[in-house]
Chain A
């Protein structure tokens, strides 16, 4: 039941995804995520930065406090040591206003779905109580969409009644970067099921993408995990839907799985199913190098 509702939900925004994709995410993988107040960016007190910290990428800001504000504690000592590294901007005398006892250097750390302070981001573990919002779901992946290659079949565009027709597709794991709930994140999609509809009313769900006969080292018309035998002639349209599982990370944590899967339909393939006696073969069947279909 839950699975069905997920799929319906996805199909609704599936149409919207293409629209937003064109408009999304300028370039970089990660952006600074500092809490930086309007007053800070007016005075230049915050400079977005991305640096490599111990064991990972630290995202944050350097607060280069210009002048008077005591760094921590507010003990009234007249030398304001701004908390920023390399606070070159005249962090000297700090005359007079050293009374701001204990004013925090950065703005208060907001702690909602994703906790962040000026220096670190903590990815959500799961549901965040009190936030009125559940865990990250597939519906949050509006900026991300896995890609499925063009499905292939052989023989290409036709099939022989009673013989195996081979299908495969190029669709593997993929990592995308973009904004997840407003924060730069990586999302990894991994194919979990390939759902073939062969166009004659039969379907198959397989766990592998399949491969060409040549790549598998098999003779033509061999059975494969993804092959299909048509029982009657006519025009068919085969389609493929690949189900992807999704995981995300905000860069400092391991991959966190998102419940459910994302179905991605591929382009349909039209084919003519013919009886063996009307099939044109790919070459002279009597020659040493027999053509396709011999």
Chain B
């Protein structure tokens, strides 16, 4: 007979062991880890809060880069902030603006963020990525055509709720936006 019940017991035991180890190391004399040693196996993000802060910063930089791209009609800088599907969507979108002769004035801002899932990020020495909700404020964004007339839809909301995936880039050790889509589930920009 398989003792599935042992699984939680094993987890509990592991947690206790971790707790005990924590106690032991706290009592032991502190050895200052060298940065190179800690980089290899210590978690990059120790908590959800750290993960959200990093993801928020990366996402805000991505939106900032998008603002500049739509203002200058130049998407070359985007690949430092976006990858995968998010990058191709952004590049296509900037090209679309250029084709139409549209240009952005003013900047968007990330009003708020919250964590969807950071389990692939927190506590890992080799993180993979995370998902966040973001409320993007576009109320100061103006889109003008070649004649300088606004082409912003009358019904454009002041804020957009989005859900974004961010991927950990091992080489640059940064989070980069890999996917983004609108979220209509409520609770983000309210």
Contact = CB atoms under 8 A, between A and B. Distances in A.
A232 B114 CA distance: 54
A100 B99 contact: yes
Contacts of B181: 33-36
B30 interface: no
Given A20-B117, A41-B136, A27 B185 contact: yes
B131 A42 contact: no
Contact of A49 (B93, B145, B184): B184
Interface stretch (B8-16, B20-28, B34-42): B8-16
Interface residues of B, number: 61
**What does DSSP make chain B's interface, helix, strand, loop or mixed?**
mixed
B93 A28 contact: no
A211 interface: no
Given A28-B186, A182-B131, A265 B66 contact: no
B154 A88 contact: yes
B156 interface: yes
Interface string B166-190: 0000000000000111111111100
Contact of B7 (A7, A30, A31): A7
A266 to B, nearest CB: 9
A41 B158 CA distance: 10
A46 B116 CA distance: 23
Interface stretch (A61-69, A149-157, A222-230, A286-294): A61-69
B4 to A, nearest CB: 5
Contact of A182 (B4, B11, B179): B179
Interface stretch (A10-18, A161-169, A247-255, A272-280): A10-18
A67 B186 contact: no
A46 to B, nearest CB: 7
A38 interface: yes
Contacts of A8: 7
Contacts of B66: 38
Contact of A42 (B100, B143, B165): B143
A103 B179 CA distance: 23
B108 interface: yes
Contacts of A142: 117, 119
A43 B165 contact: no
B154 A89 contact: yes
A85 interface: no
A44 B5 contact: no
B48 interface: yes
A41 B183 contact: no
A38 B92 CA distance: 10
The 10 lowest CB-CB distance pairs between A and B, nearest first, are A44-B156, A26-B187, A44-B153, A39-B93, A31-B185, A32-B184, A28-B185, A37-B93, A48-B184, A265-B8
